[in-house]
């Protein structure tokens, strides 16, 4: 079974969606001691884990990217492309200053630059510590009516590929929301489609369809994820044995 962990913020006021810098460092250090991190599609045998960060907030570049380099880890960053600026000279302190609920208000994504820029995304890709997923264009609930699915699911991929010069093969569903049309279109354009829980698109060779995405925000202790990971792994293996009748 391949565990996939979903994180959002570092040092945000939105505590359910955030870890502190200290907790994240202790947690990532433990991961580096116990697991090998992989990008979607990479060979996944035992003791492998996939780390995913949603929304591409600037706090990822500021706090997490240095830790990935320090501990030799890889992470998938899910980017909502409508909020990404080419570059910015806004100081880091201002970029980190918004409360979570203010980030998507009005033109704050331009006047505060609370998301990673394309310049920063390219730097992270070139470091080989970060791979990019599309997280739709506008970070909308794709299961609602009157959403332009072609634009949110497919054009978001094209925009990222043109700006970053890499293939974008993963899609992370905003809010984990979807319906049949969303899944069909996402599967058409991406080999890897993530939500919370099991994968919607088990095309990752070597994991036998066994992928499980769990929440890594608001960790109470640096090792609190490892116990549920073991339990999930145990039950997934048990279910497979029952299905296969062995």
Q: How far is the CB of 80 from Zn ion (least distance, A)?
A: 7
Size of residue set near Zn ion by CB under 5 A:
3
Report the distance separating Cα 106 and Cα 136, nearest Å. 19
Per-residue x/- track, 54-93, Zn ion (CB under 5 A): xx--------------------------------------
Mark the segment that binds Zn ion (CB under 5 A) among 35-43, 48-56, 57-65, 147-155.
48-56
Q: How far is the CB of 231 from Zn ion (least distance, A)?
A: 26
Report the distance separating Cα 53 and Cα 7, nearest Å. 5
Contacts with 50 (C-beta within 8 Å, 6 or more apart), sequence order: 2, 3, 4, 5, 37, 38, 39, 40, 44, 76, 211
Residue ranges in 7-46 that form contacts with Zn ion under rule CB under 5 A: none
Closest residue (Cβ) to Zn ion? 54
Residue ranges in 168-207 that form contacts with Zn ion under rule CB under 5 A: 174
Mark the segment that binds Zn ion (CB under 5 A) among 29-37, 53-61, 183-191, 221-229.
53-61
Smaller CB separation from Zn ion, 117 or 136: 136
120 binding Zn ion? (CB under 5 A)? no
Give the residue from 73, 64, 57 showing the smallest Cα distance to 116.
Answer: 57
Smaller CB separation from Zn ion, 74 or 100: 100
Q: How far is the CB of 142 from Zn ion (least distance, A)?
A: 11
Q: How far is the CB of 47 from Zn ion (least distance, A)?
A: 28
Smaller CB separation from Zn ion, 54 or 59: 54
Smaller CB separation from Zn ion, 54 or 120: 54
Please state whether beta strands 130-134 and 18-19 pair in parallel, antiparallel, or not at all (unpaired): unpaired
Mark the segment that binds Zn ion (CB under 5 A) among 49-57, 68-76, 93-101, 158-166.
49-57
Q: Which residues bind Zn ion (CB under 5 A)?
A: 54-55, 174
């Amino acid at each position: 079974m391949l565990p996939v962990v979903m994180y959002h913020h570092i040092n945000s006021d939105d505590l359910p969606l955030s870890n502190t810098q200290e907790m994240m460092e202790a947690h990532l250090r433990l991961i580096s001691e116990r697991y090998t991190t992989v990008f979607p599609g990479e060979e996944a045998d035992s003791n492998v884990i996939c780390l995913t960060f949603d929304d591409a907030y600037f706090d990822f570049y500021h706090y997490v990217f240095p830790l990935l380099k320090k501990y030799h880890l890889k992470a998938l960053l899910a980017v909502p492309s409508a909020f990404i600026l080419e570059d910015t000279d806004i100081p880091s302190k201002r970029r980190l200053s918004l409360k979570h609920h203010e980030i998507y208000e009005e033109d704050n994504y331009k006047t505060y630059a609370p998301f990673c820029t394309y310049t920063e995304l390219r730097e992270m890709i070139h470091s080989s510590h970060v791979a990019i997923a599309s997280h739709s264009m506008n970070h909308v609930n794709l299961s609602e009516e009157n959403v332009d699915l072609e634009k949110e699911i497919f054009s978001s991929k094209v925009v990222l590929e043109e700006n970053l010069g890499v293939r974008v093969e993963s899609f992370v569903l905003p809010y984990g929301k979807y319906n049949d049309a969303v899944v069909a279109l996402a599967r058409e354009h991406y080999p890897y489609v993530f939500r919370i829980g099991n994968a919607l698109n088990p095309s990752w060779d070597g994991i036998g369809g066994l992928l499980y995405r769990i929440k890594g925000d608001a960790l109470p202790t640096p090792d609190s994820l490892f116990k549920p990971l073991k339990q999930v792994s145990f039950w997934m293996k048990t279910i497979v044995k029952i299905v296969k009748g062995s």
